Chain A
Amino acid sequence: MKILERTGGATLGFLEYTGGLFSLAGESAGFIFRFRIRFGETISQCYLLGVQSLSIVLLTSLFTGMVISLESAMQAVQFGVGNLVGGAVAYASVRELGPMLTAVVVAGRVGAAIAAELGSMVVTEQIEALRSMGLEPARFLVVPRLLAVVVMLPLLTIFADVVSIMGGAWIAQSYAHIAFDSFISSARQQIGVDDVMKGLVKAVVFGMIVALVGAYQGLSTRGGAAGVGKSTTGAVVNSIILIFIANFILSLVLFGGS
């Protein structure tokens, strides 16, 4: 009985959460399609949320490319297929790790920041003040952040892809003596423009997840500073889980045939 009750409660909670998320998404989309967008604010959010994430994205993707290369290069040379390493690194970076890791890093930095900011605005009655002035929080706060993340995450992903491949090439050269040129030409053979584009489609979806989950968690904050802490953690954890799930589904749909 207890188990049933628990499962029921969890299911209801999950449905309520996704329902809230989708209704916030719908409301925001409504404002975007009616062009009720605060452009100035959107641009400053692009800087705040996007540009300031660049260094940490570069750092994580550099080391990711380096480690894939490190793991695969020595083995590949042993088996006499050193010329395939570039392809392997590029393949993994562009299709999977670039979009995923960038999104996860951005979820940790930007999703958390959005949840914390909106959450503290809830507990200090600033959100209520906006509504009282006849300003919709979804239009005023959520749309600029959503657009900023959806625009910036693909850009960050491109940087991540490039840096990851470069880092891979460097390690392949210095540890396994695979020439830079052969690494790069192998990479170019293995992946095409469509792979990159599909990776960017992933980035767009991940961007929506990060911004909407962060905003939704922030706006549903209850109860003081402790509540803000909870929302922030919730935003990071939930958006990372959703990113992993969405990544699998997108890989299945986008790359299923290739």
Chain B
Amino acid sequence: MANKVYARLDDIDLSFSDRVVLKNCSLDIVEGAITCIIGLSGAGKSTILRLIDGLVLPDSGHVYIGDRDLCHASQRQLYETRRKISLSFQFAALLDSMSVGENVALPLREHTKLSDGEIRRIVMDALESVGLSHTYDNLPSELSGGMLKRAGFARAIVMRPDLILYDEPTTGLDPIVTHLITDTIVQLRAKLNGTAVVISHDLQSIYMMADYVAMLFEGAIIAYGTVDEVRKSPNPLVQQFLRGSEVGPIPI
């Protein structure tokens, strides 16, 4: 089956000052599918999402969104591309000068011509889907970490973008909300036929939602395939990671 690729990382090298984060890293994000990225803490998973969103440019290699190479795009083209992509940040990153509702409404206010009433309705829907409709008028500083995270999630889905990047959407949430969020990700994909990339440490929800799984280790993708393929991978690194065992080739 020839899958259409929505985003492609092609042979990326990236270092921050002296620290090499990605080395010969290549990854295809299949259109209409949910791709989950797993890997050790600090491996560079969040960095991959930043690359796809054009927030960070690689030292060498290419990042393609469709046919557009972000490494050779103008600032204006980068901003244009970003509007079709949403990033739900690991630590929410809500603007603390606005209420939660206004935060979620912000992309709609800035990029659409919808009326205030329509915007309020869409925002309410989004907040409801993460169980936060009562926090519309609260300031971000009045919310708990998990609630902030869900508000950030609501902000990411409100524009119904082609590609949504979720950075650990369920880390630190209780099991019920985790289930709710996982469900929302799956439903959104089905409803919009959109593409998603999810970083997660939660194997249960990965098995539930992923079409493809990619494992990042020491700067490169060392395993890629469907959930079954990756679970059955003979690679001892993958096996050790999925088992969550201290014994194996991964240095601790």
Contacts and interface: CB of A to CB of B under 8 A. Distances in A.
Given A128-B93, A129-B94, 15 more contacts: A124-B93, A126-B93, A126-B94, A128-B89, A130-B95, A131-B55, A131-B79, A131-B82, A132-B53, A132-B89, A133-B86, A133-B110, A134-B83, A135-B106, A135-B110
B10 to A, nearest CB: 22
A133 B106 contact: yes
A128 B111 CA distance: 17
A129 B95 contact: yes
A131 B53 CA distance: 9
Given A132-B53, A132-B55, A133-B106, A125 B89 contact: yes
A130 to B, nearest CB: 8
Chain A interface residue number, banded = 10 to 19
A195 interface: no
Contacts, number: 48
Interface in A104-133: 121, 124-126, 128-133
A96 interface: no
A158 B72 CA distance: 49
Interface string A211-242: 00000000000000000000000000000000
B87 interface: yes
Contact of A134 (B50, B80, B94): B80
Interface string A135-159: 1100000000000000000000000
B105 to A, nearest CB: 11
Contacts of B79: 131, 134, 136
Contacts of B82: 131-134
Given A132-B87, A134-B80, A134-B82, A124 B111 contact: no
B107 A126 contact: no
A135 B105 CA distance: 13
Among A124, A128, A131, A134, the one with the most B-chain Cβ atoms within 10 Å of its Cβ is A134
A223 to B, nearest CB: 12
A130 B85 CA distance: 13
A234 B53 CA distance: 31
B137 interface: no
Interface in B85-132: 85-87, 89, 91, 93-96, 106-107, 110-111
Nearest to B159: A133
Contacts of A126: 93-96
Contacts of A136: 79
A221 to B, nearest CB: 15
A133 B53 CA distance: 10
Contact of A128 (B55, B107, B155): B55
A227 to B, nearest CB: 15
A124 to B, nearest CB: 6
A129 B89 contact: yes
Nearest to B90: A125
Given A131-B55, A133-B82, A134-B83, A124 B96 contact: yes
Contacts of B53: 132
Contacts of A133: 82-83, 86, 106-107, 110, 155
A136 B79 CA distance: 8
